């Protein structure tokens, strides 16, 4: 694991948080006319990637998406606002939480339609995992989200062992 040429200063979740706004078009719809879940996943991955790269200031790749919940449908014409923040970091891995809100632009009604957790790993120029800045936990919310993120990451690592065995069995 590389740590770069200098010790990276701690950064708060606020410093890397991101909002992305995107309009849903007919080409984003499934055959039933609602927005296709995969289209929303793409935007979740993208906004989480912005946060991961802002925090690590390096290349970062998605290694896991989990607890993806589509709570309410998103309709063609809606304006989607995706908000992402970093909850937890270990050495090279980062847990990013994403909330998806859909706005009916005519009525102005806004609804939380989805949530997800995305894990990114920072990579150095050689494509190897590299250390990311530690999280500066300023608020109670930061501290609670960090501890909850740590528990989820432990869960992921247990699952990772199982999935790693998939490659050994083929």
Footprint of ligand COA (CB under 6 A): 61-64, 90-93, 119, 121, 129, 156-157, 160
- CA-to-CA distance for 148 and 156, rounded, in angstroms? 13
- CA-to-CA distance for 155 and 159, rounded, in angstroms? 6
- CA-to-CA distance for 81 and 21, rounded, in angstroms? 5
- CA-to-CA distance for 38 and 45, rounded, in angstroms? 10
| Cβ closest to ligand COA, residue 62 vs residue 83 | 62
Best CA proximity match to 90, nearest among 163, 159, 165, 156: 156
| Cβ closest to ligand COA, residue 54 vs residue 156 | 156
Shortest Cβ distance from residue 47 to ligand COA (Å)? 15
What torsion do the CA atoms of 66, 133, 128, 145 make, to the nearest 10 degrees? -10
Shortest Cβ distance from residue 63 to ligand COA (Å)? 4
At 76, phi and psi to the nearest 5?
Answer: -55, 135
Shortest Cβ distance from residue 62 to ligand COA (Å)? 5
5 secondary structure, DSSP code: S
Shortest Cβ distance from residue 128 to ligand COA (Å)? 7
Shortest Cβ distance from residue 146 to ligand COA (Å)? 14
| Cβ closest to ligand COA, residue 24 vs residue 89 | 89
CB contact set of 127 (below 8 Å; sequence gap of 6+) = none
């Amino acid at each position: 694991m590389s740590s770069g040429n200098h010790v990276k200063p701690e950064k708060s979740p606020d410093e890397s948080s991101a909002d992305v706004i995107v309009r849903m078009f007919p080409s984003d719809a499934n055959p039933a006319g609602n927005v296709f879940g995969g289209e929303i996943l793409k935007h979740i991955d993208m906004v989480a990637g912005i946060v991961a790269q802002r925090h690590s200031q390096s290349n970062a790749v998605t290694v896991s998406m989990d607890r993806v919940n589509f709570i309410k449908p998103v309709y063609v014409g809606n304006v989607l606002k995706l908000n992402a923040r970093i909850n937890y970091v270990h050495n090279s891995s980062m847990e990013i939480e994403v909330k998806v809100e859909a706005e009916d632009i005519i009525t102005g009604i806004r609804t939380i339609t989805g949530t997800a957790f995305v894990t990114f790993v920072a990579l150095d120029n050689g494509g190897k995992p590299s250390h990311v800045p530690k999280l500066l936990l300023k608020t109670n919310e930061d501290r609670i989200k960090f501890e909850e993120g740590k528990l989820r990451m432990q869960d992921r690592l247990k699952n990772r062992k199982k999935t790693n065995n998939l490659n050994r069995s083929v």
